[in-house]
Structure 1
Amino acid sequence: MAKKVTPLTDLPLDILVLVFPYLDAKSFLALCATCKAFHQPSISLDSAYWSRATRSAFRVPNQPVVQSDGVRWQKMYRRLLTQSRVFTWGSNTHGCLGHTYQEEAHQSGMLRRRWVNSATNASFPIEVEHSRELGITSDMQCGGWSTTLLTSKGSLYTFGVLDGLTMPREVSSNKHELLKYPPGFPQSTDRYDPAVATLQFSSGRSHVLALADSGRIWSWYAFNKAALHVKFLHIDINEASPSSSSQTPTADTTGQVGRVRQVVAGWGHSSAYVCGTGIVLWSPVKRPRGDQVSDMMLVVDSAVVPKTSYQRPKHASRQSKDDKALGDEVGMVSNYIILEHFVVFVTDLGKVFAAKIGDESTTTDIVELRRLRNDTGTHWDVQGSFRRFASFKNDEVIITDQGYLDRCWEARFDNPAQTNIHGLQRIPALQDTGVISVAFGDHHYHALHRNGRITSYGKDPQGCGALGLGSENNLQAMIRGINIVANRGEGELLRETYTTGRQVWFEEEKRKFMRFMGDGGQDPSEARERMELADVDPTIKGEVSEWFEQETRDWDKRPELKDADEDRLGAYFALSVSAAGWHSGALVLVNDVLAEMVRESCKGGPPERSPHEGKLYEWEWKDWPRLRLADGREMPGEVEFSEWKYGRPDFERNFEA
């Protein structure tokens, strides 16, 4: 009697997901198209498959907050092939923006005060020159004076200066420079070598760390000098085949002992997470003076952050009593960051810990940040750099800094519950808005939201454009909600803007709209009194800015553009955002067809007006807004009162958590 053959569709899902990773994307999609059973979203949009496929094919870094979003990962996979673009903005010191864009001053007919006067900066996102020549860019990170790109082939390119404190400074051209390896290794990915193909990298203030497919650690301190292979005197690193490498903790990591899972370059420290050892810290390495040939650096003085070594086994019976106690108290490190003076890490228990870094990159103890613990949710993470960081807990995002960490550290014995320790901020625009990541510069920071939008917060030092919101003069700054401190040449976002956030624009049409309205709209003389009133009254300025923010939102979501936005990602969909120093950057998927349709939809005017009046855009028939204010006042003027596109919000000005 013939044996009964079990159809593939009869296998349980937990068995099928073990098979899926062996299929490439084309084969997986073909399988899903064979029958309705495989076409159901639980299979065709399996988050584990698409996350792994996208990260394997394009070397995209993991995003823990959206790890379970299969739809997002699948759309990323489809569009990364053709639509990946790199944009930068802010201070272009030493060419760290990767372009020679020169902003031209747009002089308004009224209130001519200038606050930006640099020909080297970019206050709007500008595409990095020559970046498309690199192929698919899968990740980008800003350093103190540089920006570094990772391609899908595993190559690293940088522009700017890795160490801006050295003299003479080694400045790259505005065209990207390929980071070099020692002689004997492939200098590009034309010939694949797992020892030099970058799996994951991190830009610190003045150096870059990379983790190769093989598990090898490389470190650069100048773009024109070859990397150094980092080894440790007291810690064994287990290099292996690429197929066994992983950036994500698995259910059973006991077989990964000695493997490097992650590298993080901080302000003045280097680090790596080594399975079975924990978070390892050391000082950035350099060749001795006169040494031009060394290809390896043996780190004698390294330190392990206490209680970070735990690896969760698949079966509890495999644990010793001490291991179980550590697993219950701390858990397994799922992600970590390196600040100027602290290590902050989050574990699989939803707990967040900090360890103060002493001399020679040493640590002696850890303290749990009790108020950041996630006892009930499924999503948690920490992200940050220099002196500030963000803690994620479900859909809540808390912003804090090293001052708060210092206070918790000093109180770890006398006040372990950390009661009455202030310093946590709950920014309204970051709560329940799908924030995926937060990137910090010296004075500014950006949030990336699930819908592919980027919002900005903080200050714009010396008006360099770090916020990425534009504003070439004080009237345009008012439209974006930026208050100008004239004696310092500094722009600071009004507290009113933190209620809904201020989006970074990639559309040229929005910049033209802002410039037109910055000049007073279609009748500048009629709008003069309102503009002058808003210029001196921060409360009015905040409401006017919110009105403009609503007017410029979702231009690519207009009904007539729906067919061109097939995957609903919009014309510009940011995959990642990075910031450091006084500059920022983003990796963006650009739907060129939809972007052009948005551009065309902005043209023209009311049908009753002649198209031959020299006016190209629809907003050239619009007045500068006249609002009924929240406090009951009415703005002066002769035009009709302006309506709110999405309704006036209740502004929140107290952010203390």
Structure 2
Amino acid sequence: MPLADIPVELFLDNLLPLADVRDVLSLGSTDRSFAALCADETFWKRKCKEDFNFTSQETARQSGWKNLYRGLRYPKIFVWGQRANGRLGLKTIPKGLGVGIPYPIEVKIPGSRIVSLVAGGMSFHAVDSEGSMFVWGTLNGESQSLHSEGFSVKYKTASEPHRLLMPNPIRTVSCGRLHTMALDSKNHIWTFVNWGRPFRLDSPMLDCSLPETTPMQAESGWSFSSILTHSGDILAFWPFSGQVGRLCDEENLAMDEWGTCHAYPTSDRHIPCVTWTLRADPLRIPPIPELPELNDTGLSQEERSKRTTLIKIAAFDNHIIGLTNKGHVLKFGDLSNEKSFDRTTRWQYLENFSELSKVASHPAFRDERSGLTAPTSLRITHITAHFETFVAYSTGSSSIILMGDVHTNKDSQPKVIPYLQNRGVISTVLGDYHYGALTADGQLLTWGQYSHGALGLGIPTELPLGAPGGYATESQLSQSRRSQWGPLEPPSVILPSQVHFNHGPNPGGRRFCFAATAAGWHMGALVACLEVGSLPGFECHC
């Protein structure tokens, strides 16, 4: 049978996945029909997951998977912002920049292909294509540790990236201000209040042998932890207070007395984690209420007929944002501590973040000066949250970005930034006072406060007057250049502006940002060079 007569489905599902990438590229260069077949987005998305463990769970990417595949062969890690607590993980710091680095600078982890990067309050966490987890900075920077102490001490700083030696490969990571959660390949959830002694919460409510009690997502709030199961239930616990916090403190004190569980780093910067099990039941968040049917969501009749359930959560300061399979956005709190948890508290349905008619009537879409056209269809598909801010957004070229905060209620209007609408945004990231949006074409846009360089837009004294991240007047610029205490705080950036990854003596080729993260007063990104590779069409000149 001639190749051209083989059904497309057989090619995509059975033949191409078995072929070497070189052969796939060669086949795609033979004629137009094979070129289209070998550029199939689903095929390259599958290859990104199989070959590099990149699932795009942190973004809403729908296209560009072939370009991303070649970029994932040699991804680069960039960080910037405040450098206290060793959070930038750099051996040497450029001189003359004060307490922060205001532009992206590369962090290298030799021998590892990093595919996920997550910022904590004073740290970074990275996962490579093999599921190894790396950390740098300080998990809890509220005090200091002795040089002789190991990573059983929560204040211990990793001034360079260190690999955590864990029992199973890590799939996802989520950071609060002073703690971290990780979901591993066996659906076990690990909580870190220090990097040397992570604990696994053991409870019948997290029975991985049953689909309904198997964790689907682990999400760290500002000071609490939350878990979404496959059945749509949400569980919460507090690693610093309540029953879990008390048991955690007791176990750490006992291990201190044993004197053998200090998790001293090795000479090759490995942290031998002393893992343990904490047996306690988390608290169950009340179920979501009955919700109205949403119109013009683009869902099929079969999808509309399914039970409405939570599919994503985002946690921030004492609150949780929930997203259903049909696009409803909800908010739940107060979750400041175990004692504040009230089982009579109910979810608030945020109709102004969910319903097309409400969003289309927002003043930003009715103001002719904004140049925005009101959406004609809407289904929120992604949410993110940090500190006091959350974002709900849709995807595609007509993506809608809606922002709220801890004070948002059922009657609140979302904040709409006109410049971000219809930009193909696939991810939003939030620091304390600075924010970022990643687009499908690889641009990272930032706005908000300077925060010791967390916007990453360049050295303020070297930017033109009025440029984003620079100074508004000549007097401000002159004063900053004369200051012996470092540059003055530039004005906040209102219009989201592009971060460039070509600083330094070796700027490299075309850069494509495929993942970003933010927290505290710092930011990071994973960047690919679009000229990467040794395969045909995958050459690298970086």
CA distance in 2, matches of 1:103, 1:27: 41
Q: CA offsets, 1:405-425, max 9 Å, x none?
A: 2x33xxxxxxxxx3xx34x22
Residue 43 of structure 2 is aligned to residue 49 of structure 1 = yes
Q: CA offsets, 1:274-326, max 9 Å, x none?
A: 1125222221253524232661112324223523999xxxxxxxxxxxxxxx9
Where 2:70 maps in the other structure, the secondary structure is: helix
Q: 1:27 to 1:355 in 2, by over 3 A?
A: farther
Q: Counterpart of 2:129 in structure 1: which amino acid?
A: S
Where 1:174 maps in the other structure, the secondary structure is: strand
Q: Counterpart of 1:122 in structure 2: which amino acid?
A: I
Where 1:176 maps in the other structure, the secondary structure is: strand
Q: Which structure has more helix as a fraction of its residues? A: 1
Match of 1:99 among 65, 86, 90: 90
**What stretches of structure 2 of length at least 5 have no aligned partner?**
146-153, 256-260, 262-274, 292-302, 357-376, 481-486, 534-538
- 1:229 corresponds in structure 2 to 200
Shift, 1:374, TM fit? 5.4
CA distance in 1, matches of 2:30, 2:112: 35
Match of 2:70 among 75, 78, 83: 78
Residue 56 of structure 2 is aligned to residue 62 of structure 1 = yes
CA-based RMSD: 3.9
**What stretches of structure 1 of length at least 5 have no aligned partner?**
106-116, 186-195, 240-255, 311-325, 409-417, 513-554, 557-569, 600-657
**Structure 1 length as normaliser, TM-score?**
0.61
CA distance in 2, matches of 1:345, 1:176: 33
- 1:594-613 correspondence runs (5 A): none
CA distance in 2, matches of 1:204, 1:366: 22
Give me the identity figure in percent: 22
Please tell me whether the aligned partners of residues 328 and 380 of structure 2 are also in contact (alpha carbons under 8 angstroms).
Answer: no
Where 1:291 maps in the other structure, the secondary structure is: helix
- 1:215 corresponds in structure 2 to 187
Please tell me whether the aligned partners of residues 54 and 60 of structure 1 are also in contact (alpha carbons under 8 angstroms).
Answer: yes
- 1:540-551 correspondence runs (5 A): none
Match of 2:81 among 90, 94, 99: 90
Where 1:257 maps in the other structure, the secondary structure is: helix
Where 1:480 maps in the other structure, the secondary structure is: coil
Bigger relative contact order (CA 8 A; separation at least 6): 2
- 2:459 corresponds in structure 1 to 471
Shift, 1:220, TM fit? 1.5
Q: Counterpart of 1:198 in structure 2: which amino acid?
A: I
Q: CA offsets, 1:420-456, max 9 Å, x none?
A: x34x222122112221111111110111112211111
Residue 134 of structure 2 is aligned to residue 157 of structure 1 = yes
CA distance in 1, matches of 2:217, 2:19: 25
- 1:275-354 correspondence runs (5 A): 275-284=230-239, 286-288=248-250, 289-292=252-255, 295-307=276-288, 331-354=308-331
Please tell me whether the aligned partners of residues 388 and 399 of structure 1 are also in contact (alpha carbons under 8 angstroms).
Answer: no
Q: 1:61 to 1:460 in 2, by over 3 A?
A: farther
- 1:537 corresponds in structure 2 to none
Shift, 1:342, TM fit? 1.6
Please tell me whether the aligned partners of residues 205 and 213 of structure 2 are also in contact (alpha carbons under 8 angstroms).
Answer: no
Match of 2:212 among 221, 243, 257: 257
Q: Which structure has more strand as a fraction of its residues? A: 2
Q: 1:233 to 1:103 in 2, by over 3 A?
A: same
**Structure 2 length as normaliser, TM-score?**
0.73
- 1:523 corresponds in structure 2 to none
CA distance in 1, matches of 2:189, 2:325: 25
CA distance in 2, matches of 1:425, 1:503: 21
Shift, 1:338, TM fit? 0.5
Shift, 1:145, TM fit? 0.6
Greater CA radius of gyration, 1 or 2?
A: 1
Please tell me whether the aligned partners of residues 321 and 383 of structure 2 are also in contact (alpha carbons under 8 angstroms).
Answer: yes
Q: 1:102 to 1:51 in 2, by over 3 A?
A: same
CA distance in 2, matches of 1:10, 1:374: 45
Match of 1:401 among 396, 401, 404: 404
Q: CA offsets, 1:218-263, max 9 Å, x none?
A: 122212x132122225442338xxxxxxxxxxxxxxxx43332221
Residue 363 of structure 2 is aligned to residue 368 of structure 1 = no
- 1:450-489 correspondence runs (5 A): 450-461=440-451, 464-473=452-461, 478-483=466-471, 489=488
Q: 1:104 to 1:397 in 2, by over 3 A?
A: farther
